[in-house]
Amino acid sequence: MNPKERIEQLRKEIEEHNYRYYVLNDPVISDFEFDQMMQELMQLEKLHPEFQDPNSPSNRVGGAITKLFPVFVHKHPMLSLSNTYSRGEIAEFDRRVKEGLGLRISDPVDYFCELKIDGISISLHYEKGMLAHGVTRGDGEKGDDVTHNVRTVRSIPLKLKGDFPKELEVRGEIFMPKSVFLRLNEEKQKAGEPLLANPRNAAGGSMKMQDSSEVAARKLDCFIYYLIQSEFDIKTHHEGLQKLRSWGFKVNPHSRLCRGLEDVEHYINTWKDKRYDVDYETDGVVIKVDNLKYHSELGSTAKSPRWAVAFKYKAEQASTVLEDVSFQVGRTGAITPVAHLKPVRLAGTIVKRASLHNADFIKKLDLRIGDTVLVEKGGEIIPKIVEVDLSKRSLFSTPVEFISRCPECGHELIRKEDEAQHFCPNEDACPPQVKGRIIHFASRKAMNIESLGEETVELLYERGLIRDISDIYKLSREQLVKLPRFGEKSASNLLEGIEKSKSIPFEKVLFALGIRHVGETIARKIAIHAGSMWKLMQMSEDELLQIPDVGQIIAQSIRRWFSKKENTDLVHFLAEKGICMEMSKSDLPKENHAFINGKSFVISGVFHRISREELKKIIEMNGGKCPSSVSSKTDYLLTGENPGPEKVNKARQLGIKIIDEREFAEKTGLI
C-alpha cells in the first residue's frame, strides 16, 4: 500500500472511531490502539506534506495560530431565543403560536422539547461533505470564523456520512463538559491561578483562543440542534434531527416530541432535577414548534423566532450552616478563604465547601461561624454564599476574622492598597508556593518537562529531593528509582524531559521563572527587547518601561525579583546547567528598519506569505509596535484578506494609512 492510500485509510478509520467514541459512545478499540493509529497518520503526513488536508483527523489536536479571526457574514441570521420563567408564560407562548397560525385555543400543537445547553452557539458550513467553516453567533448578522478551533472538537464531523447535500449549514452548541470544567478549576486552584467562572464562559473563551492546540486540550463537545433547510424535503424539526444523526452529527439524546402543552410541562418537570445527572450545563428547556411549515408562517421578530422559546429554571438555592472557614495558599502566595458548610444537597450534588473570595467579601456579608447561610451554585457549578439568614443568628456569635499569618508557614501576611487579596510574602519557604512555582516551571507553556507533573512534584517534595527549581537539575537516576511508583522507565522519562528542557527558548525560560505579573505574552516582548537574561538583569525600571505593554507594576515586579540574591543565584545556576539565557541569532532584533522603527502597526486579516505571528515578530524586532486596536497613535493598518471592518472604518475616520501585505513587502524587503 503506497503512502497516499495508507494515509487515506487511516483518516477514514480514525474518523469512524472518533464517531463511535464521541457520538455513539460505543468505542470498539482501546485508547492505546487509537493513539497508535493517530501517531502513524501524523508521521506519514509529516513525511508526505503533499497529502496534507485541513480536515484530516490529525488536526483534531490543533496547532494553528490565529491572531485575528476573520469576519464571516451569516447567510441566515443567528437569532437568540426569548426567555420564559413560568408556566403562565409558556401558556402565553402557546396562545400566541395558535393565534399566529389561525388555530383555535383547543387545537393541540406538536412541540419539540430540547435541553438548553449552556455553551456557545456555532454555525457549521459543509461543502461536498467536508467542514468548510465554523462561525460564532457574533451579533447575529456576522460572526468570527473559528474553523481552526472547531476542528479540535471531536464530536463535530470533519467529513459527513451518507446522502449529504453539496452545501449544508447546521447550528449547534459547543460546550465544556462539567467534568472537564471541574478538573481545570482544580488545577488552577492548586496553582494559585484565577478560577474559570462557569462552563459557558470557559467554552466561549476557548473558542477565542489563538492556539488551537490549547483548545484541543480543553476537550470541548458539541450537540447539533438545527438544520438550515435548503434542498431536502423535511416536514418536521424532529425529522431534521434524524437526518443530522444519519450524517454523523451528535444530537442530544434527551430531546422529545411533545403532543401539546401538557406534555411540554411534563418534560420540564422531569428535567428539573434530572438535568444535574448529565455531564453538561443546562439551565432550561428549548420549546420549538415541530412543524417546519409553521416556522415560515410564524416568522421572527428582529431578535427572536416566534416559533420557539426558552424556559429557564430558577437558580437552585439551599439553606445550610457555616461550620468553619479555612484558608488556602496558591502558587503566587494569594490567600483564598474557603467556607466549610454543613453538607447540603444542591443542584444534584452534596455541597460541603464554597469560596469566600477575599477579606472584603467576608466583611460585606458579616459572616460568623454558626450562621445559617443561603448557598447557590454560580453557573450551576461553583457554590457561593449569597445571603446570611440574620433571623437565625446567635446573639453570642462573633464575626469571622481574616487570618494575619500564613496557615502553611506562619509568616505575616501582607495586602497592598490596590489589591483585594492578602498574600504570604514568604515565597522561598512557604510549601504551597515552592511546589506551585516548580509545577509552573515544568508546565507545558513554560519548560515543558514531561513526566514532571503535579503528583511527581508532590512526591519529590515530600521525599526532600526538591526544595527549589534548581533541584530539578540535580536529580539522579539513583534517587528516582527508589521512589514509590518509579522504575527505570519512569526515571529515564523524567531525566530525558529535564534534559530536553535545556533547548527551550529564552522567552519561555523567562516565563517559567514565575516572576509575578510576567505572563507568556509579556515575557516574549521583554525577551525580544532585552535579548538576554544578563541584559534584563541590568535594566532599570525606567528602561523596562520602554518595552511595549510593560507598565509600572510589571517593571517594579521584575526589579524586585532580580534584587533578591537567591533569584540571581538561580539564574546563574540554570545557565551553568545549559538553560538558554539569550535569544537565538534569528530572533535577535536586527538594525531597526527605517520604515518600521518607532511606528505603530495594527495587523488585521489573513496573510499568505507569512503568518500573523511572524509578521508581528518582524515588526517588533525592527523597532515597531503592534497594538491590538486602532487609535490616533496608530501609524499604519496592515491588512490581509478579510480585515476587521471596524478597524478599517476607524482607520479611515482617523486618516490612518492602510497598507497590504504586498506594499509592506515592497517597503521593507523583509518578507
Q: Are 53 and 122 in contact (CB under 8 A)?
A: no
What are the backbone angles phi and psi of residue 90, rounded to the nearest 5°? -70, -40
CA atoms of 458 and 464, how far apart (whole Å)? 10
* Number of helices followed by number of strands (H, E) in the chain: 24, 19
Grid cell in block for residue 535 = 541584559
Pairs from 79-83 (Cβ < 8 Å, separation ≥ 24): 79/140, 79/300, 79/303, 79/304, 79/305, 80/137, 80/140, 80/303, 80/304, 81/286, 81/304, 81/305, 81/308, 81/309, 81/310, 82/303, 82/304, 82/309, 82/310, 83/284, 83/309, 83/310, 83/311, 83/312
Half-sphere exposure of 276 (CA within 13 A, CB side): 15
- DSSP-derived letter for residue 412 is B
CA atoms of 194 and 201, how far apart (whole Å)? 13
Helix spans in 301-397 (H): 359-365
Q: Among this protein's residues, is 116 annotated catalytic?
A: yes
CA atoms of 141 and 133, how far apart (whole Å)? 16
Convert 66-123 into a string of H (helix), E (strand) and C (coil). Answer: CCCCCEEECCCCCCCCCEECCHHHHHHHHHHHHHHHCCCCCCCCEEEEEEEECCEEEE
CA 491 to chain centroid, in Å, comes to: 33
Which residue out of 4, 12, 75, 116 is catalytically annotated?
116
282-289 vs 71-73, strand pairing mode:
unpaired
CB atoms within 10 A of CB 233: 6
167-175 vs 221-227, strand pairing mode:
antiparallel
Distances (CA, A) of 611 to 614, 637, 643: 5, 16, 14
CB atoms within 10 A of CB 519: 11
Distances (CA, A) of 48 to 41, 65, 209: 10, 22, 29
Which segments within 400-556 are labelled E, that is strand? none
Distances (CA, A) of 300 to 99, 247, 254, 293, 475: 15, 28, 26, 14, 67
Side chain identity, residue 397 = S
CA atoms of 177 and 179, how far apart (whole Å)? 5
Grid cell in block for residue 313 = 429554571
Q: Which residues contact 269 (CB under 8 A, 6 or more apart)?
A: none
The single residue listed with the C-alpha cell 411540554 is 264
Side chain identity, residue 265 = E
Give 634: exposed, middle or buried? Use CB within 10 Å, 0-12, 13-18, 19+.
Answer: buried
What are the backbone angles phi and psi of residue 501, rounded to the nearest 5°? -65, -15
CA atoms of 356 and 337, how far apart (whole Å)? 5
Give 404: exposed, middle or buried? Use CB within 10 Å, 0-12, 13-18, 19+.
Answer: exposed
Side chain identity, residue 219 = K
Q: Which residues contact 105 (CB under 8 A, 6 or more apart)?
A: 95, 98
Return the CA Rg of the chain: 28
Q: Could you list the active site residues?
A: 116
